[in-house]
Chain A
Amino acid sequence: MKATPDGTAPGSPPPSLQADLARLEAIVRALEANDLDLDAALALFEEGVGRLRNARERLATAELRLKQLREAAGGGDVDDLAG
């Protein structure tokens, strides 16, 4: 996995699905703990909803990419393969 574990580092690629899931779990736990003030809870909820949407979009729009690795000088070269 190339994304950072929490996917929140500035300038990093958009958080991976794994990062979204991990963050969502943390958000649900934090909300369940019920020791946040309302503003913080609402902010977390908003973030959670955003990440849910993000994750669902990823799942809905993903298309399998097929590649082929072939021998090249000093290693491998990648070619696109038609699905």
Chain B
Amino acid sequence: MTLELPLAPTLRERPLTVLELTEGAKRVLEQAFPAAWVEGEISNFTKQSNGHWYFTLKDPFAEVRCAMFRSDNRRLPAEPENGLKVYARGRLSVYPARGAMQFIVRDLLATTEGGFYAIALARARQALEKDGLLDPARKRALPPFPGVIGMVTSPDGAAWRDVVAVIARRWPLVELMLIPARVQGEDAPRDLCRALGLANRFEGLDLLIVGRGGGSKEDLWAFNDEHVARAVAASRVPTISAVGHEIDVTLTDLVADLRAPTPSAAAEKAVPDRMEVLRYLASLEAGLGVSAGRRLDAAGTRVAHAQSRMAVAAQGRVRDAAQRLREAGLRMHAGCAAITEVRRAHLERLAASLDALSPLKVLERGYSVARDAAGRVLRRVGDFPPGLSFRLRVVDGEVGARAETGA
């Protein structure tokens, strides 16, 4: 007897392969849930060495396996921890190799205020605080007149342009050095750390500004990265952190020596204002002028006094001298005149005397002078022997004469 075994079944349709089944399920599920937000709590979180995250999303009644691939999770600032309540956006799918339904998460938000950013910030902040890097006593004074200012930022960003413009206007006496770095995106933290390190290896830098212009919280996130904050805190050169707008405060702001609300404000804090220094110079000049002036005034007054006294004295003396000269001149003149006069008078007197004494005058009155042949004047009777021939000088000439009788 042979055992009647059922014949090999002949199915009216070809059976599906497991792969076909799971692929079919996958297709159906993916079409039914192209994208959806799901709310739940994270558990069984694991991170693979390739960077993918796996976890379970659950609520009190159900759970679903989730995967979040590296390409998506690297945009998040922090890893979730078990128990975290989240909104997960993704699509439902099937992983055929395990036949498991899974939710492929593209976006993950913590339901708490600040989300993952707050979580990451809190963690980084705690770590920095533990190392004393947030201690306000660490903050150093900025150099009052920096010679070389470095700025770690994007070469294409508004921050660099703003800083250049402000410093060119306020204080173009510096050398402004760009240390280019990417300031947003997943490479930004590493790039910022590299640039900060490079800046600090450069000798001669007096001040370092690190920052970027405004953007979304996510755009600014690199400046909340713990490594970046540590690199800023480790800077040998005093730092100013200037990230985004007024309201944005980042970890680099907390560890830098000075926080500026914007890059333009950082530039204003980095350098003095040329106009203010010019005004200060003017006040110094005034002080210089006043004190030197006072000093000089006092001296000048004395000099002026001395000068005028000297002038008066000199004038007096000159006047005296002139007077004396004049007088001397006069006297001299007068003297000369007098002398001449005296002489003239004398001469006249002499002339008068001469005139008076002139024998011609006597002759004019009718007298005559008798002279012998030898010219001797015959004055007395005895000078006339009888018969003596003599000559008589009368007023207008001589005549010959002879004595006739004796006395």
Contacts and interface: CB of A to CB of B under 8 A. Distances in A.
B145 A78 contact: no
A10 interface: no
Given A18-B144, A56-B281, A64 B168 contact: yes
A62 B285 CA distance: 21
Interface in A30-72: 31-32, 34, 36, 38, 41-42, 44-45, 48-49, 52, 55-56, 58-59, 62-71
Contacts of B155: 68
B278 A64 contact: no
Contacts of A32: 287, 291
Given A66-B164, A76-B198, A31 B176 contact: no
Contacts of A52: 281, 284-285, 288
B199 A25 contact: no
Of B178, B285, B292, chain A has the most CB atoms within 10 Å of the CB of B292
Contacts of A55: 277, 281
A62 B173 contact: yes
Contacts of A49: 288
Nearest to B299: A38
A41 to B, nearest CB: 5
Contacts of A78: 177, 202
A49 B289 CA distance: 9
Nearest to B300: A38
B201 A64 contact: no
A81 B160 CA distance: 12
Nearest to A59: B274
Contacts of A45: 288, 292, 295-296
Contact of B164 (A17, A24, A64, A69): A64
A65 B179 contact: no
A28 interface: yes
A68 B180 contact: yes
B33 interface: no
B292 A66 contact: no
A66 to B, nearest CB: 5
Contacts of B284: 21, 24-25, 28, 48, 52
Contacts of B194: 71
Nearest to A52: B285
A28 B284 CA distance: 7
Given A41-B292, A48-B288, A69 B172 contact: no
B275 to A, nearest CB: 9
Interface in B320-364: none
A11 interface: no
Interface of A: 1-2, 16-18, 21, 24-25, 27-28, 31-32, 34, 36, 38, 41-42, 44-45, 48-49, 52, 55-56, 58-59, 62-71, 75-76, 78, 81, 83
List 10 tightest A-B contacts by C-beta distance, closest first: A31-B291, A45-B292, A64-B172, A28-B287, A18-B145, A62-B173, A64-B168, A62-B172, A32-B291, A48-B288
Given A21-B284, A28-B287, 4 more contacts: A25-B284, A31-B292, A32-B291, A34-B291
6 contacts: A52-B285, A59-B277, A59-B281, A62-B172, A71-B194, A83-B164
Interface of B: 143-147, 150, 155, 164, 167-168, 171-180, 194, 198-199, 201-202, 204, 206, 274, 277-278, 280-281, 284-285, 287-288, 291-292, 294-296, 299
